[in-house]
Amino acid sequence: MNKTGSRAKAQRRKEERKELLNALRLPLRLCAFAGVILSLFTLCALAQQDDRGLDDLKRGDYPKALILLNERLNSNPNDAAAQRGLLRVYIETGRYTEAEATARKFLLKTPDNGAVRHQLAETLAITGRHTEAISEFERAAADSQKARALADKLESDLRRAELLDLIGQEDRAKPIYESFVRYYTDKDPKTPRELTLIARALVHLERFQDANDVYRSAIEADSDYLEAQLGAAELFTQKYAYSDAAAFLEDAFKINGNNAQVYLTLARAKRIDGDPQHAGFQFRAHNDVDAYTTNQTIFIRPDGVGKPAETRNWDPQTRKGPVNMPWNAMSFVLGEKRYTVAYLDRPENPKEARFSEREYGRFGSYFEYTIEKDKPLTVNYRLWIQEGLMQPEEVAALSNNFVEPVRVTMDESK
């Protein structure tokens, strides 16, 4: 075979292969494009599947959420999001026995699941087992930290602090609340969940304006985040700004009109209640008292002058403690001087008035009251502040003058 003919045949075969490749190039590109589209559809379908039941839970359609979440768990018993969602359904519908039993069953397989343990702790807290709940919240926070689920850790830490507050262990709760301020400063969080948890901690630290700002940031991040709307409503209810609270509650009802917490917050907007340490009418001294002179604070009561740093408090657990005192007084050191503030009540103010004292410079009382259209709330207190350590008889005289003030009349006949 001559070389010229061989080269001609080789060239023709090369050109034929090139034409075939060109012919196939467009179908191949179309197939690749179709593959990308199919992948996107698959991802979207999986994302929608992952949300099955959770969107219904968010909207308050609990029967549908229960069915869909159980279907997910039947397909995948280790579906962590479905486990958590199912527990929330049980808790939000008051099925606490089922919530506890189901949580414990899940934890037998995955004992380090912080999110599930948190829901177990919530069930224990709701049913009054506070000490056990505090322990479970602490372990849930540790498990979530190991899993790098920072928002879950924050929520477990906050709930532990709130329970410590509830049982009177404010000294253990306060450092936890303060850690949220550091988290906010160091991490600059943007998610509505993190911001809402931080705002709640700020409320407990009595930094109400900061809490309001952070709640509003959370709502700006996601206006459908129910917990932010409820938290803001509760904050304004606590500050007696009921019209502002109503605006947040209206948005909360649009998100989930079946949530029990929404109705509870609405009731609180009309019901004056709270805890002895934060509700009612309270006096709080300068923060330097807390920082430097706590052990020098003295309370003066109708039965005498107390010892330094000795306090008496109405206990919400036993429902025992000082109530309906006509007056109370607190003497504290600020800078180089001692002052006394007398807290004067009146018989017509709502009762039972439950008193609270804290050596760091706060005291006062609170009561329960339901505001109705034909039953508004009117209160009348007086604070008297002067230098030095007042004696009981001095404060009693101030109280008598407040309750039955001297009346001056003019005899125009003379």
Three-state secondary structure of the chain: CCHHHHHHHHHHHHHHHHHHHHHHHHHHHHHHHHHHHHHHHHHHHHHHHHCCCHHHHHHCCHHHHHHHHHHHHHHCCCCHHHHHHHHHHHHHCCCHHHHHHHHHHHHHHCCCCHHHHHHHHHHHHHCCCHHHHHHHHHHHHHHHHHCCCHHHHHHHHHHHHHHHHHCCCHHHHHHHHHHHHHHHHHHCCCCHHHHHHHHHHHHHCCCHHHHHHHHHHHHHHCCCCHHHHHHHHHHHHHCCCHHHHHHHHHHHHHHCCCCHHHHHHHHHHHEECCCCCCCCEEEECCHHHHHHCHHHCEEEECCEECCCCCCCCCECCCCECCECCCEEEEEEEECCEEEEEEEECCCCCCCCCEEEEECCCEEEEECCEECECCECCCCCCEEEEEECCCCHHHHHHHHHHHHCCCCCCCCCCC
- Integer CA distances (angstroms), 318 to 167, 246, 282, 314, 322, in order: 11, 33, 22, 8, 12
Answer whether residue 202 shows pLDDT above 80. yes
Per-residue pLDDT band for 39 (boundaries 50, 70, 90) equals very low
What share of the chain in percent tops pLDDT 70?
81
Would you state the pLDDT for residue 58?
83
Answer whether residue 103 shows pLDDT above 90. yes
Find residue 89's DSSP bridge partners: none
Answer whether residue 237 shows pLDDT above 80. no
Measure the CA–CA gap between 125 and 159, rounded to whole angstroms: 9
Answer whether residue 98 shows pLDDT above 60. yes
User: 295 or 407: which carries more pLDDT confidence?
Assistant: 295
Answer whether residue 38 shows pLDDT above 60. no
Neighbours of 390 (CB within 10 A): 21
Asked if residue 344 lies in contact with residue 398, where contact means CB atoms within 8 angstroms, the answer is yes
Per-residue pLDDT band for 50 (boundaries 50, 70, 90) equals low
Would you state the pLDDT for residue 265?
61
User: 65 or 407: which carries more pLDDT confidence?
Assistant: 65
What share of the chain in percent tops pLDDT 90?
63
Tell me the CB-side half-sphere exposure of residue 91, using CA atoms within 13 A: 22
- Structural domains in the chain, CATH included, are 54-272 (1.25.40.10), 281-403 (no CATH)
Per-residue pLDDT band for 312 (boundaries 50, 70, 90) equals very high
Answer whether residue 29 shows pLDDT above 90. no
Would you state the pLDDT for residue 304?
96
Would you state the pLDDT for residue 23?
56
| CB burial of residue 304 (10 Å; 0-12, 13-18, 19+) | exposed
388: left (phi over 0), alpha (psi -120 to 50) or beta: left
